Amino acid sequence: MEQARTVVEMRNITKRFPGIVANDNVNFKLSKGEIHALLGENGAGKSTLMNILFGLYQPEEGEIFVNEQEVAIDGPNKAIKLGIGMVHQHFKLVHPFTVTENIILGSEPKKWLGLAVNKKLAYEQVGNLSKQYGLNVDPYARIDEISVGMQQRVEILKTLYRGADILIFDEPTAVLTPQEISELLVIMRNLVQQGKSIVLITHKLKEIMAIADTVTIVRRGKVIDSLPVAGTNPNQLAEKMVGREVSLKLDKKVAVLGDPVLEVKDLVVKGRSGLNALNETSFVLKRGEILGIAGVEGNGQSELIEALTGLRSVAAGSIRISGVEVAGESPRKISEAGISLIPEDRHKHGLVLDFPVRENMVLETYYQPQFNKNGFMDFDAIDEHATRLVKEFDVRTPTIMTEARALSGGNQQKAIIAREVDKNPDVLIAAQPTRGLDVGAIEFIHKRLVEQRNMGKAVLLVSYELEEILQLSDRIAVIYEGRIVGEVNPAETNDQELGLMMTDYKQPQGGSNIEQAD
């Protein structure tokens, strides 16, 4: 087979931000008709590199060639002129406008000597484009009426409408459900088949293996390697991305189930809007198991966590910890009764960013006798405690006096987990424990959660990442519109089935699944 033409070449690109070299002498080559994955941990410099290609940043050094011509891309308009389009992680759409109005915004087809917008033509063009690439978008729908997945397609259409041949996707799957992800992969294949070239920024290995032709790995601003996906495997990629060996498979012994320790029965909780966020939710969590709560964001997960930890009042129903009723008790009472929480938002809820690590380590236990002496806080004991946890949980911090703000996301999360696990709870609730973290930190945190379960603790894992749920859970409960709509065994299900349950397309099939009595 002949060598495909190179459509983009970036040579020796260097881009500095205050205190960091985001791109360090980077070389990148995109061939026509390929899907080229850009893989790297958070902060590796992937978005920066592509923002340079799209003209949003100017590099300090280096050259860019498009279709073998050297170009200076001084802004997105220039990039668009060169046939480059970018689908950002955060969509840039005007909500009360229709799909078509959004797409033509800024390059409207004109009529009457350019005095008016030719709406009819616009709707027709958008409809045709959508059909051509199998996007299945309704040109007349209003943005606030369509799903996030559809909004993303509108963004794709926007680039196509402006004549893009080179499409950049910045972490496109982060906001999608499993169904939407597989549909997006189909769309991307469609696009390359019709001659487009795609750069796919991601840190998900699975997607790369599924769809990419070539992968370029970036670590700390430097290109580590660029190789065809066909000859590689996820472990090798993970290793290159993190810079050390990581195990993607969790070693998990068979669960040894103990007594029920958290019993939730007919729980009703009101959400922010005053409507029921939880509708008679019931489940039981036993010692020695990880129960995964799977569901699309916004189906009552946050309210469930808040109710379980006493942060939100309970309208009806019961929550028992080791047989003791705690529904409606104060957060401190519940914490003392044996529930620990790794919160969803570590900056907002998990840490006081302006406080040193040592004070964050006693955020919930500062009042207990072991940290107080003669009516004052005993900072010798607090320091000792922090030093021990930092060591045990490998929290990388210069000192225990360092402000939590200065730690990286992974280390902040490790500090929270250290604190919560050290409380020695019966029930550990982990809400999105690895959101935004890279492979190395994820591996560490998953191991710790399994370790807790092996020690006979009960772990409640709430996550929007199906892969995480499937990997960790001993049992999966699917939540939909504030109800547990089914329970499945992770060994006997897959993300397709789960994804359907999460959107309530169907009830689980197969004899081993426990149907929820309704």
Partner 1 sequence: MNKLIKAFTKESAVVPFIAILLGLLLGAVIMLIGGYDPILAYKSLLEKVFGNPYDFGETLTAITPLIFTGLAVAFAFRTGLFNIGAEGQFIMGMTGATIIGVSVHLPWYIHAPLAVLVGAFFGGFWGMIAGYLKAARGVNEVITTIMLNWIALHLSNYIINDYLLEPGKGRSYMVDDSAAVTIGWLSRILDDARIHWGMFFAILAVIFYYVFLWKTKQGFELRVVGSNADAARYAGINVNKGIIKAMFISGTLAGLAGVFQVLGVFLNQAVSASPTGYGFDGIAVALLGGNTPIGVFLGAILFGTLSYGAAGMSFGADVPPEIIRIVIGSVIFFVAAPGIIRWFIKRTFGKKRKGEVI
Applying CB under 6 A, the residues found at the interface with ligand ADP are: 17, 20, 22, 40, 42-48
CB of 67 to partner 1, least distance (A): 43
The tokens describing 317, both together, are: 């129903």
Nearest one of 48, 42, 43 to 28, comparing CA atoms: 48
- Choices 40-48, 104-112, 260-268, 327-335 (CB under 5 A): range interacting with Mg ion: 40-48
Under the binding rule (CB under 5 A), the answer on residue 23 touching Mg ion is: no
295 binds, among Mg ion, ligand ADP, partner 1, none (CB under 5 to 8 A by kind): none
Which of residues 218 and 321 has its CB atom nearest to ligand ADP in the complex? 218
Which of residues 89 and 194 has its CB atom nearest to Mg ion in the complex? 89
45 binds, among Mg ion, ligand ADP, partner 1, none (CB under 5 to 8 A by kind): ligand ADP
The tokens describing 452, both together, are: 């807790």
Contact 88, 56 (CB under 8 A): no
Under the binding rule (CB under 5 A), the answer on residue 47 touching Mg ion is: yes
What is the distance of C-alpha 277 from the center of its chain?
A: 23
CB of 442 to partner 1, least distance (A): 23
Which of residues 21 and 353 has its CB atom nearest to partner 1 in the complex? 353
CB of 310 to partner 1, least distance (A): 8
State the Cα–Cα distance between residues 47 and 37, nearest whole angstrom: 12
State the Cα–Cα distance between residues 319 and 308, nearest whole angstrom: 7
Nearest one of 98, 382, 41, 79 to 224, comparing CA atoms: 41
The tokens describing 450, both together, are: 């399994």
Tell the burial category of 487 from Cβ atoms under 10 Å away from its Cβ (0-12, 13-18, 19+): middle
CB of 354 to partner 1, least distance (A): 5
CB of 50 to ligand ADP, least distance (A): 8
CA atoms within 13 A of residue 361's CA, in its CB half-sphere:
30
Q: How many CB atoms lie within 10 A of CB 25?
A: 14
Which of residues 329 and 474 has its CB atom nearest to partner 1 in the complex? 329
Q: Which residues bind partner 1 (CB under 8 A)?
A: 309-311, 330-332, 335, 341, 343, 348-355, 359, 363-364, 366-367, 372, 375-377, 379
CB of 353 to partner 1, least distance (A): 7
343 binds, among ligand ADP, partner 1, Mg ion, none (CB under 5 to 8 A by kind): partner 1
Burial letters for 456-471: b for 16+ Cβ neighbours within 10 Å, e otherwise?
bbbbbbbbbbbebbbb
Phi, psi (5° rounding) for residue 436?
A: 75, 5
Q: What is the DSSP string of 427-466?
A: EEEEESTTTT--HHHHHHHHHHHHHHHHTT-EEEEEES-H
48 binds, among Mg ion, partner 1, ligand ADP, none (CB under 5 to 8 A by kind): ligand ADP
CB of 378 to partner 1, least distance (A): 10
Handedness of CA 44, 50, 56, 61 (dihedral sign): positive
- Choices 39-47, 159-167, 401-409, 439-447 (CB under 5 A): range interacting with Mg ion: 39-47
331 binds, among partner 1, Mg ion, ligand ADP, none (CB under 5 to 8 A by kind): partner 1
Positions touching Mg ion (CB under 5 A) are 47
